[in-house]
Amino acid sequence: MTTQLKMVGPVVSGMDGALAEAVVTAIEDDNPDLEVDVDDQGGYIRVQTPGRCRITRASLEDALGRTFHMHELEPSLAGFAGRMKVTDEDIIWYLERED
Amino acid sequence: MPRLSRSEWYDLTRDMNWDLSYVSEDEAFPPVLSNSFGVPAHDWWVWDEPYKITYTEYVHNQAGKDAGVYSVNNVLNRSHIFDNLEPGWKAAVIAHYGAIAVAEYQAGIGEARMGRFGRAAAWRNMATFGTLDETRHGQLQTYIPYQALAKEPRLDWAHKAYHTNEWGIIAARHLFDDMFTANDAVSTAIQLTFTFETGFTNLQFLGMAADAMKAGDFDFGALIASIQTDEARHAQQGEPTIKVLVKAGKADVAQNLLDRMFWRAWKIFALLTGLSMDYYTPVENRTHSFKEFMEEFINKQFIDTFRDFGLEKPWYWDQLLNEMNWVHHAYHIGVYFWRPTVWWNPVAGVSPAEREWLEEKYPGWNESFGKYWDVMGDNVRNGHPELTLPETFPMVCNSCQVPVCTPAGYAAGYLDSPLPHILDFEGRRYTFCSEPCQWVFEQDPEQFKGHLSIIDRFLGGVIQPATIPGALEYMGLSPEECGVDGTDYAWAGPVIPAEKSA
């Protein structure tokens, strides 16, 4: 049985480049202790951290330089790895099972 | 005016659950349309979607998404982009529209059924958004191909395909009727939104979006990536449904529903996405192989998620890994050989550079599948392209409705026997391509036993005259619509002059 943490996080569409870059920056800011893996396939960009990945509205606003509501992420959120929890202030992707 | 944050009023506006007094539960939620699998009514009311959205937010987002896709389409229409696409990419796009567009409207029927017969108000709310999503997808994927009808008349298969008995469409219809057109709400949430949309649609809609951007087809790339953002949201109807079943001690029900649809989805995606990624997409534009995309989106991303709910890999996991090495290579030879039976122009995709790529991604390809192409190439070079065309039809699986390719799997060293799987049931003999396909049939024989495959129809006298032209007419393919080699045999190299004059 392996206990290596599984990678989780959003898969963002490459159509809105500014938002995609902001997502990467925000996830780096919001998960300071985790290594952020960015896999840019052009049509989509996979942004992942091990086990748990958080993105906050505040960090996205900082990265974009404008006000932002979490639901505005949807037009770029083409998929994600892990399960998802959404509040007014953040989104968390996570997996619980360790084996 | 003070404003509440969304989380303070969301549940209140969403939850309209009530106890029935004028009618019985079965009258309001007939099992054939809803099927609680024995979970009591109130136990469904804890159903809570992980991906929350209000109607106002929904409308705002969707208007923006549509504006994005249509504006890309408007700009690119003027640049004659379709004329400049490679023949292989055209094959992938024309196949996509026929196989997908009207199926989106049908998925809307499944979403609408959950919108009425889902077992909790929160669920019915999400499914209502899902119904609108699928309607949008149907509209987009009929509108956009119609813009290029003057350049490729068979783009009207976006609308026409599901109104025909073309063999690939019989297979797709058999799958989708089982998954959502004729399914109950609870099974639809697990089989359509979870298994199909959380899992497999990523291959065709995100994997192909990556390839589209590299192939210079921004129109198609923007379209399918936009669609997938809807899928990512409404696919989340699966998780809370599974959680209710698991909590009620019915994980086995969820597992069974998943196992059945996971295999069925695999077979159809191997046919559609497998060929598009590994043969039709120009080799210089390929992001990954089909097998690599399967490993990324299914074997890792999807499996991690459903195991997190306490479910396990399907029992046939090893057989899936086995087929990932070879089955779509066999399908491709079949589709190319029987190309008059499809509405797009298949390309062979086996020029020297492409064979090198295939050998790298699928070690041993040249020694197994390459040999069939050697023979077809010789026939073309010797001036006998007619020998690369069929005179008979293959056997078709009574479950997935795709031709049985076990001899090719056996010859390539992946199967122990070239024989199909046979089941005699109530006086009729059924043929299957694989053990899981037979297992799917046996899970619900009442559902499947009356269906006639295209070959059953041919041999049983439904198709008249029982000839290849008769069958093509039955499949809705006029001579002008039948597929031909997409590169006019350029892949085989020049015809050998001496042979030609002999």
The per-residue pLDDT for range B176-186, each reduced to its tens digit, is 999 999 999 99
pLDDT score at A98:
84
| Strand, coil or helix: B411 | helix
Task: Flag whether B14 is in a domain.
Answer: no
Q: Encode pLDDT of A58-72 as tens digits.
A: 999 999 999 999 999
A92 vs B: CB within 8 A: no
CA–CA distance, B369 with B412 (Å, rounded to integer): 7
Which residues are registered as beta bridge partners of B465? Answer: none
The answer to whether B154 touches B340, Cβ cutoff 8 Å, is no
For residue B233, the chain A residues in CB contact (below 8 A) are: 74, 77
CA B446, distance to chain mean position in Å, is 24
- CA torsion sign for B83, B159, B212, A20 is positive
B237 phi/psi in degrees, rounded to 5? -75, -15
pLDDT score at B79:
57
**pTM of structure:** 0.95
Task: Flag whether B356 is in a domain.
Answer: yes
Pull the structure tokens for residue B254. Answer: 């969820």
Task: Flag whether B398 is in a domain.
Answer: yes
Task: Flag whether B16 is in a domain.
Answer: no
Look at chain B and report how many structural domains it folds into: 1
CA–CA distance, B145 with B96 (Å, rounded to integer): 10
- Test the B interface: residue of A5, A8, A11, A15 with most B CBs within 10 Å: A15
Task: Flag whether B27 is in a domain.
Answer: no
For residue A68, the chain B residues in CB contact (below 8 A) are: none
Which residues are registered as beta bridge partners of B27? Answer: none
Q: Encode pLDDT of B473-490 as tens digits.
A: 999 999 999 999 999 999
Task: Flag whether B338 is in a domain.
Answer: yes
pLDDT score at B3:
80
Domain annotation for chain A: domains and CATH numbers: 7-94 (3.90.56.10)
**Domain of B279: which CATH number?**
1.10.620.20
The answer to whether B434 touches B472, Cβ cutoff 8 Å, is no
A79 vs B: CB within 8 A: yes
Residue type, B201: T
For residue B199, the chain A residues in CB contact (below 8 A) are: none
Task: Flag whether B19 is in a domain.
Answer: no
Place A49 in a pLDDT band, splitting at 50, 70 and 90: very high
Q: Would you tell me the crossing angle of helices B208-215 and B87-117 to the nearest 10 degrees?
A: 150
B357 phi/psi in degrees, rounded to 5? -65, -45
Q: ipTM score here?
A: 0.93
The answer to whether A57 touches A28, Cβ cutoff 8 Å, is no
| Strand, coil or helix: A54 | strand
A84 vs B: CB within 8 A: yes
Domain, as residue range, for B426: 37-500
pLDDT score at B13:
86
Is B233 in contact with A41 (Cβ distance < 8 A)? no
The answer to whether A31 touches A5, Cβ cutoff 8 Å, is no
B398, burial (CB in 10 Å: exposed 0-12, middle 13-18, buried 19+): buried
Task: Flag whether B9 is in a domain.
Answer: no
Low-confidence ranges of chain B (pLDDT < 50): 499-502
Is B64 in contact with A88 (Cβ distance < 8 A)? no
Is B304 in contact with A43 (Cβ distance < 8 A)? no
CA–CA distance, A40 with A38 (Å, rounded to integer): 6
CA–CA distance, B449 with B489 (Å, rounded to integer): 41
For residue A74, the chain B residues in CB contact (below 8 A) are: 53, 57, 61, 229, 232-233
pLDDT score at B429:
97
pLDDT score at A16:
85
**Which of A76, A83, A95 is facing B50, going by the closest CB pair?**
A83
